[in-house]
Amino acid sequence: MSTPGHDAALLGQGFYWQDIQAGQRFRTIRRTVTETDLVNFISVTGMLEAIFIDAEFEGGAIGGRPVPAALTQCLIEGLLFQTMIQGTGLALLEMSLKAIAPVRVGDTIWAVVTVTEVKPTSKHNRAIVSSEIEVYSTRDERVLTYTAKRMLAGRSG
């Protein structure tokens, strides 16, 4: 029995390592950070810090409804999972993160990904892909940067 649409191009498939090279740049779509995002994230992670759970907290260094830098990074990773590495990402091997400016509930974020290295492995048609990710907010302000090393699958055949 054949799968309907098997002969059609697959939407949403990530890049195989053979399809990318050092120097390539990609931009994610934009995503607005919501109060629900904040509440769900701090609840599931236990990041119940006063600046995140008290909308009127006055003792912090950041005004408004700030969100953890980890949430910002996770939302960007989600955008990458749905696009660049969907079905081809095998492992996140290493990451280094730097928070530059606060992100608040209601901010819209997106990222620019620059591939810095593609290094094929000796086994199983895989490669280690390194990239730099710059995250921007509503005001076109760079708010977060991180580097990531991932293992990506190769094209079969």
Nearest CA to 136 out of 36, 28, 39, 23 is that of 28
Nearest CA to 87 out of 155, 21, 26 is that of 155
pLDDT in tens, 137-147: 988 999 999 99
3-state secondary structure of 153: strand
3-state secondary structure of 145: strand
Residues 6+ apart with CB under 8 A from 132: 113, 114, 116, 145, 146, 147
Range scoring the smallest mean pLDDT among 4-13, 47-56, 62-71, 142-151: 4-13
Model confidence band, residue 25 (pLDDT cutoffs 50, 70, 90)? very high
End-to-end CA distance of the chain: give it in Å, rounded.
Answer: 23
How many CA atoms does the CB half-sphere of 1 hold within 13 Å? 2
Model confidence band, residue 69 (pLDDT cutoffs 50, 70, 90)? very high
Mean per-residue pLDDT over the chain, rounded: 93
Nearest CA to 103 out of 136, 79, 74, 78 is that of 136
Residues 6+ apart with CB under 8 A from 100: 142, 143, 144, 145
pLDDT in tens, 77-101: 999 999 999 999 999 999 999 999 9
Model confidence band, residue 6 (pLDDT cutoffs 50, 70, 90)? confident
Nearest CA to 66 out of 53, 82, 79 is that of 53
Question: Per-residue pLDDT for 1 more than 60?
Answer: no
**What single string gives the DSSP state of each residue in 74-98?**
HHHHHHHHTTTTTTTEEEEEEEEEE
Range scoring the smallest mean pLDDT among 3-7, 52-56, 143-147: 3-7
Question: Per-residue pLDDT for 3 more than 70?
Answer: no
Element spanning 40, H or E: helix 35-45
pLDDT of residue 157: 65
Question: Per-residue pLDDT for 2 more than 70?
Answer: no
pLDDT of residue 42: 96
Domains of the chain: 17-32+75-153 (3.10.129.10)
Q: What is the pTM of this model?
A: 0.91
Residues 6+ apart with CB under 8 A from 10: none
